[in-house]
Protein backbone atom coordinates (compact mmCIF):
# COMPACT_ATOMS: atom_id res chain seq x y z
CA UNK A 1 0.00 0.00 0.00
CA UNK A 2 2.86 2.43 0.80
CA UNK A 3 5.85 3.11 -1.40
CA UNK A 4 9.28 2.20 -0.08
CA UNK A 5 10.01 5.89 0.48
CA UNK A 6 6.90 6.26 2.66
CA UNK A 7 7.76 3.09 4.54
CA UNK A 8 11.24 4.46 5.27
CA UNK A 9 9.77 7.79 6.41
CA UNK A 10 7.32 6.08 8.77
CA UNK A 11 10.02 3.82 10.21
CA UNK A 12 12.40 6.76 10.73
CA UNK A 13 9.74 8.88 12.41
CA UNK A 14 8.68 6.05 14.70
CA UNK A 15 12.34 5.68 15.72
CA UNK A 16 12.62 9.42 16.39
CA UNK A 17 9.32 9.38 18.32
CA UNK A 18 10.59 6.59 20.61
CA UNK A 19 13.49 8.79 21.73
CA UNK A 20 13.21 11.36 24.52
CA UNK A 21 11.37 14.46 23.29
CA UNK A 22 13.69 16.99 21.67
CA UNK A 23 16.62 14.56 21.33
CA UNK A 24 18.54 15.20 18.12
CA UNK A 25 19.15 12.11 15.96
CA UNK A 26 21.70 12.03 13.16
CA UNK A 27 20.59 10.76 9.75
CA UNK A 28 23.54 8.36 9.72
CA UNK A 29 22.54 6.90 13.08
CA UNK A 30 18.95 6.42 11.88
CA UNK A 31 20.12 4.89 8.61
CA UNK A 32 22.35 2.42 10.41
CA UNK A 33 19.82 1.41 13.06
CA UNK A 34 17.02 0.96 10.50
CA UNK A 35 19.14 -0.45 7.67
CA UNK A 36 18.10 2.30 5.24
CA UNK A 37 20.53 3.83 2.70
CA UNK A 38 21.81 7.02 4.37
CA UNK A 39 21.73 9.27 1.29
CA UNK A 40 18.15 8.22 0.51
CA UNK A 41 17.08 8.69 4.13
CA UNK A 42 18.70 12.14 4.33
CA UNK A 43 16.67 13.33 1.34
CA UNK A 44 13.37 12.15 2.75
CA UNK A 45 14.16 13.60 6.19
CA UNK A 46 14.80 16.97 4.50
CA UNK A 47 11.40 16.66 2.79
CA UNK A 48 9.83 16.14 6.22
CA UNK A 49 11.64 19.26 7.45
CA UNK A 50 10.17 21.23 4.52
CA UNK A 51 6.67 20.00 5.46
CA UNK A 52 7.36 20.91 9.11
CA UNK A 53 7.01 17.41 10.51
CA UNK A 54 10.68 17.47 11.54
CA UNK A 55 13.11 20.18 12.47
CA UNK A 56 16.80 19.98 11.86
CA UNK A 57 19.72 21.57 13.63
CA UNK A 58 23.14 21.86 12.02
CA UNK A 59 26.41 21.62 13.80
CA UNK A 60 28.10 19.64 16.51
CA UNK A 61 24.98 18.79 18.54
CA UNK A 62 22.71 18.82 15.53
CA UNK A 63 20.40 16.30 13.97
CA UNK A 64 16.71 15.75 13.42
CA UNK A 65 13.86 15.86 15.91
CA UNK A 66 10.08 16.13 15.74
CA UNK A 67 8.84 19.69 15.25
CA UNK A 68 6.07 19.08 17.80
CA UNK A 69 5.02 16.29 20.18
CA UNK A 70 4.42 12.88 18.55
CA UNK A 71 0.78 12.97 19.70
CA UNK A 72 0.26 16.03 17.46
CA UNK A 73 1.70 14.48 14.26
CA UNK A 74 -0.86 12.43 12.34
CA UNK A 75 0.14 9.68 9.94
CA UNK A 76 -1.33 11.60 7.00
CA UNK A 77 1.31 14.31 7.48
CA UNK A 78 4.00 11.66 7.13
CA UNK A 79 2.44 9.92 4.13
CA UNK A 80 1.21 12.90 2.10
CA UNK A 81 4.61 14.28 1.01
CA UNK A 82 5.47 10.94 -0.59
CA UNK A 83 2.15 9.47 -1.76
CA UNK A 84 -0.42 10.82 -4.20
CA UNK A 85 -3.52 10.56 -2.04
CA UNK A 86 -5.60 12.07 -4.85
CA UNK A 87 -5.32 8.75 -6.70
CA UNK A 88 -7.81 7.35 -4.20
CA UNK A 89 -10.41 9.73 -5.64
CA UNK A 90 -10.21 8.01 -9.05
CA UNK A 91 -12.39 5.10 -10.09
CA UNK A 92 -10.83 1.79 -9.08
CA UNK A 93 -11.83 0.36 -12.47
CA UNK A 94 -10.42 3.36 -14.35
CA UNK A 95 -13.73 4.76 -15.61
CA UNK A 96 -13.59 8.44 -16.50
CA UNK A 97 -16.94 9.13 -14.84
CA UNK A 98 -17.64 7.31 -11.61
CA UNK A 99 -19.79 8.93 -8.95
CA UNK A 100 -22.79 8.14 -6.82
CA UNK A 101 -24.98 9.09 -9.81
CA UNK A 102 -23.01 7.07 -12.41
CA UNK A 103 -21.27 4.38 -10.42
CA UNK A 104 -19.08 1.48 -11.54
CA UNK A 105 -19.74 -1.99 -10.04
CA UNK A 106 -17.10 -1.44 -7.33
CA UNK A 107 -18.00 2.18 -6.51
CA UNK A 108 -19.56 1.60 -3.07
CA UNK A 109 -16.85 -0.85 -2.04
CA UNK A 110 -14.04 1.52 -3.10
CA UNK A 111 -15.76 4.53 -1.53
CA UNK A 112 -15.90 2.73 1.84
CA UNK A 113 -12.27 1.53 1.60
CA UNK A 114 -11.06 5.00 0.58
CA UNK A 115 -12.95 6.74 3.41
CA UNK A 116 -11.69 4.28 6.02
CA UNK A 117 -8.09 4.53 4.75
CA UNK A 118 -8.09 8.35 4.87
CA UNK A 119 -9.79 8.35 8.30
CA UNK A 120 -7.05 6.07 9.66
CA UNK A 121 -4.31 8.30 8.22
CA UNK A 122 -5.95 11.28 9.94
CA UNK A 123 -6.57 9.58 13.29
CA UNK A 124 -3.32 7.64 13.85
CA UNK A 125 -0.49 9.64 15.37
CA UNK A 126 3.23 9.03 15.71
CA UNK A 127 2.57 8.61 19.43
CA UNK A 128 0.13 5.77 18.69
CA UNK A 129 2.64 4.05 16.40
CA UNK A 130 5.67 4.49 18.66
CA UNK A 131 3.80 3.37 21.78
CA UNK A 132 2.56 0.27 19.96
CA UNK A 133 6.06 -0.48 18.65
CA UNK A 134 7.73 -0.13 22.05
CA UNK A 135 5.07 -2.30 23.70
CA UNK A 136 5.52 -4.92 20.99
CA UNK A 137 9.31 -4.93 21.36
CA UNK A 138 9.09 -5.02 25.14
CA UNK A 139 6.92 -8.15 25.02
CA UNK A 140 9.28 -10.06 22.69
CA UNK A 141 11.59 -12.75 23.97
CA UNK A 142 15.32 -12.06 23.44
CA UNK A 143 15.68 -14.59 20.60
CA UNK A 144 12.79 -13.13 18.62
CA UNK A 145 14.01 -9.59 19.28
CA UNK A 146 17.34 -10.46 17.65
CA UNK A 147 15.59 -11.98 14.63
CA UNK A 148 13.26 -9.05 13.87
CA UNK A 149 16.25 -7.15 12.53
CA UNK A 150 16.37 -3.40 12.03
CA UNK A 151 13.09 -2.07 13.38
CA UNK A 152 12.16 1.24 14.96
CA UNK A 153 12.45 1.39 18.72
CA UNK A 154 15.27 -1.12 19.22
CA UNK A 155 17.84 1.62 19.89
CA UNK A 156 15.48 3.26 22.39
CA UNK A 157 14.89 -0.09 24.11
CA UNK A 158 18.65 -0.65 24.48
CA UNK A 159 19.19 2.90 25.77
CA UNK A 160 16.36 2.48 28.28
CA UNK A 161 17.85 -0.82 29.49
CA UNK A 162 21.31 0.77 29.84
CA UNK A 163 19.89 3.69 31.86
CA UNK A 164 17.93 1.28 34.08
CA UNK A 165 20.96 -0.90 34.98
CA UNK A 166 22.85 1.73 37.04
CA UNK A 167 19.66 2.67 38.91
CA UNK A 168 18.94 -0.99 39.65
CA UNK A 169 22.52 -1.57 40.85
CA UNK A 170 22.30 1.47 43.14
CA UNK A 171 19.00 0.26 44.60
CA UNK A 172 20.57 -3.15 45.29
CA UNK A 173 23.58 -1.48 47.01
CA UNK A 174 21.27 0.72 49.10
CA UNK A 175 19.33 -2.35 50.31
CA UNK A 176 22.56 -3.99 51.52
CA UNK A 177 23.62 -1.00 53.64
CA UNK A 178 22.71 -1.39 57.37
- % of the chain residues with pLDDT over 90: 48
Chain-wide mean pLDDT for the chain?
Answer: 84
β-bridge mates for residue 57, sequence order: 63
Q: How far apart are CA 79 and CA 153, in angstroms?
A: 20
Is the pLDDT at 122 greater than 60? The verdict is: yes
* pLDDT at residue 60 in the model: 81
User: How much is the pLDDT for 102?
Assistant: 82
Considering only CA atoms, give the Rg of the chain: 21
State the Cα angle at 38 between 151 and 43, rounded to 5°.
105
Residue 88: pLDDT band by 50, 70, 90 thresholds? Answer: confident
* 3-state helix, strand and coil shares in percent for the chain, rounded to the nearest 5: 60, 5, 35
Can you give the pTM of this predicted structure? 0.78
Residue 164 has pLDDT above 80, yes or no: no
Domains of the chain and any CATH numbers = 4-169 (1.10.10.10)
Output the DSSP codes for 36-93.
--HHHHHHHHHHHHHTTSEEEE-STT-EEEESS-GGG-BHHHHHTTTS-GGGGGS-TT
Rounded CA separation 73/164 (Å):
29
**How far is residue 147's CA from residue 144's CA, in Å, rounded to a whole number?**
5
Average pLDDT of 68-95?
90
Q: Residue 135: name the closest of 14, 5, 31 by CA.
A: 14
Amino acid sequence: MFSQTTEYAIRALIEIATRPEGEQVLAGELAESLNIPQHYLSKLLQQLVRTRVLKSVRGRNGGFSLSRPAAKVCLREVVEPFEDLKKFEDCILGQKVCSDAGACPLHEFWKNVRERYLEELDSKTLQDLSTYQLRRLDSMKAGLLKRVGSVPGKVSMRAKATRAKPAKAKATRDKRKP
